[in-house]
């Protein structure tokens, strides 16, 4: 089954509207005097945490109610944060950069260990391309403004090529997969689980992953206001996320089964995805913010951002 994580524009707008409505209802509940944690998430680890109910159990003594809102794309999650519909969530490297450029009051509450093997530049079976240098003049597809666009820019730079040496083709993962199958593109830069699905279902070959090129982390975000007033809640939330990651790292087979049900993918795909994932949550320090700063600077050079960003103060304090 082809993973379908990205919605059409109409569905994305509908999701955002639904999230705003849910968030508005939860805000009214918060005004009644009870504290809340509204978690915005995409399909993945958070579904496992939600199913266990441990976050609710740990926050109950603080009088905090947890609500869950599922999204199909990072930018929609961050728009929900911007309009005050969610308080906490997970997202890749690139969407926060664009959200911060647009003025979203986002701060980084935590990050994963580097996960460079979860994104790669792949080739169709029998491709004549043998090295990154062979990509010169070739059609390379990826999602515009995503973490893999940053990876591609740095990969080409490392191999002595300019970003303009390849023909960039901007396609969402489902559209890129279709183009990849038809031979309409020469290479595809993509992340898991789309990457694992392409390997297992299409025989895609990895030309280069991000190991030694970029770190590729997942980030946990909140708003400055929520971080200031709910430090205790965020500490517990991050600890519970970390506990789920620890469980997955020690129970990979069971986790692959559970994740396959969540994502609607064959277990062999989620198994491949999980087995190359380093697990563990780390605090966001100055070095990690510097990684995000480098992405922002690169996107500015590629004219994807309207202005320069300074991410020096983008992490909340005292989350431990």
pLDDT confidence of residue 32: 52
- Render the burial of 18-28: b for 16+ CB within 10 Å, e for the rest: ebbebbeebee
Sign of dihedral through CA atoms 76, 81, 82, 85?
positive
* Tokens 């390849």 -> residue: 166
% of residues, the chain, pLDDT over 90: 78
Mean pLDDT within 66-70 = 95
**Which pair of tokens denotes residue 167?**
């023909």
Residues 32 and 106 reside in one and the same domain: yes
Is pLDDT at 271 greater than 70 in this prediction?
yes
Q: What is the CATH number of the domain that holds 257?
A: 3.40.190.10
Give the model's confidence band at 320: pLDDT under 50 very low, under 70 low, under 90 confident, else very high: low
Whether pLDDT at 135 is above 90: yes
- In this predicted structure, what is the pLDDT of residue 96? 93
- Average pLDDT rounded to a whole number, residues 296-314: 91
- 137 and 272 co-located in one domain: no
| Cα gap 256→172, rounded to integer Å | 25
| Domain endpoint, select from 179, 209, 239 | 209
Q: Is residue 316 part of a domain?
A: no
The mean pLDDT of 173-178, rounded to a whole number, is 94
Do residue 107 and residue 142 come from a single domain? no
In this structure, is residue 177 part of a structural domain? yes
Long-range contacts, 163-167 (Cβ 8 Å, 24+): 163/302, 165/135, 165/136, 165/137, 166/135, 166/136, 166/137, 166/138, 166/139, 166/140, 167/137, 167/138, 167/139, 167/140
Domain that holds residue 271: 9-115+217-301
What distance in Å separates the CA atoms of residue 137 and residue 187, rounded to the nearest whole number? 11
pLDDT digit string, tens, across residues 10-62: 333 434 444 444 444 444 345 557 899 999 998 888 999 999 999 999 999 99
Closest residue by Cα to residue 156 from 296, 298, 288, 277: 298
Q: In what order do the strands lie in the sheet with 205-209?
A: 167-170, 139-142, 187-191, 119-123, 205-209
Please tell me the predicted confidence (pLDDT) of residue 312: 85
The reply to whether 258 falls in a domain is yes
Those residues whose C-beta lies under 8 Å from the C-beta of residue 207, and which sit 6 or more positions away, are 120, 121, 122, 123, 129, 131, 132, 187
Residues 19 and 107 in one domain: yes
Dist. CA 288–CA 281, nearest whole Å: 12
**Is residue 214 within 8 Å of residue 173, measured between CB atoms?**
no
Residue 264: pLDDT above 70? Answer: yes
What tokens appear for 206 in the block?
């990895």
- What is the number of other CB atoms lying within 10 angstroms of the CB of residue 148? 29
List, edge to edge, every strand of the sheet that includes 64-70. Answer: 64-70, 35-41, 88-91, 219-223, 106-112, 281-282
Q: How many CB atoms lie within 10 A of CB 304?
A: 17
Whole-number pLDDT of residue 25: 43
Among positive and negative, which fits the CA dihedral 224, 280, 284, 308?
A: negative
Higher-pLDDT residue of 64, 27: 64
144 sits in the region (left: phi over 0; alpha: psi -120 to 50; else beta) called: beta
Cα within 13 Å of Cα(71), Cβ side: 27
Mean pLDDT of 248-262: 95
Which has more pLDDT, 15 or 196?
Answer: 196
Residue-level pLDDT at 13: 40
pLDDT of 10 reads: 35
- Using the predicted structure, report yes or no on whether residue 316 has a pLDDT greater than 90: no
**79: closest CA among 65, 109, 100, 108?**
100
Domain count, the chain: 2
Contact 210, 248 (CB under 8 A): no
With respect to residue 319, please indicate whether it lies within any of the assigned structural domains.
no
State pLDDT tens for residues 99-124. Answer: 999 999 999 999 999 999 999 999 99
- Closest alpha carbon to 275 in 115, 53, 155, 124: 115
More confident residue, 9 or 318: 318
DSSP 307: S
Residue 308 within any structural domain of the chain = no
What burial letters (b/e) apply to 51-61, b meaning 16+ CB within 10 Å?
eeeebbebbee
The pLDDT mean for the chain works out to 88
Domain boundary, last residue among 209, 232, 247: 209
For residue 313, name the pLDDT band (cuts at 50, 70, 90).
confident
């Amino acid at each position: 089954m082809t993973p379908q994580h990205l919605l059409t524009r109409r569905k994305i707008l509908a999701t955002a509207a639904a999230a705003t409505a849910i968030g508005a209802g939860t805000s009214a509940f918060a005004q009644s005097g009870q504290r809340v944690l509204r978690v915005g998430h995409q399909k993945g680890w958070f579904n496992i945490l939600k199913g266990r109910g441990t976050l609710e159990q740990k926050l109950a003594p603080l009088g905090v109610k947890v609500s869950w809102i599922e999204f199909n794309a990072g930018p929609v999650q961050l728009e929900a944060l911007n309009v005050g519909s969610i308080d906490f969530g997970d997202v890749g490297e690139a969407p926060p950069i664009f959200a911060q450029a647009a003025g979203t009051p986002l701060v980084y509450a935590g990050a994963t260990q580097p996960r460079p093997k979860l994104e790669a530049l792949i080739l169709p079976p029998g491709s004549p391309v043998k090295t990154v240098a062979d990509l010169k003049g070739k059609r390379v597809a990826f999602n515009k403004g995503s973490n893999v666009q940053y990876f591609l820019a740095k990969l080409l730079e490392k191999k002595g090529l300019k970003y303009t040496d390849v023909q960039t083709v901007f396609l969402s993962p489902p559209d890129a997969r279709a183009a990849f199958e038809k031979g309409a593109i020469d290479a595809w830069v993509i992340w898991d689980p789309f990457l694992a699905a392409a390997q297992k279902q299409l025989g895609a070959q990895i030309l280069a992953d991000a190991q030694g090129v970029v770190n590729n982390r997942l980030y946990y975000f909140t708003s400055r206001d929520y971080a200031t007033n709910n430090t205790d809640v965020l500490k517990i939330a991050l600890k519970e996320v970390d506990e789920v990651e620890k469980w997955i790292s020690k129970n990979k087979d069971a986790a692959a089964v559970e994740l396959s049900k969540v994502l609607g993918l064959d277990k062999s795909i989620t198994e491949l995805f999980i087995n190359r994932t380093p697990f563990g949550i780390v605090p966001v320090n100055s070095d990690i913010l510097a990684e995000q700063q480098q992405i922002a600077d690169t996107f500015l050079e590629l004219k994807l951002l309207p202005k320069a960003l300074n991410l020096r103060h983008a992490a909340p304090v005292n989350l431990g």
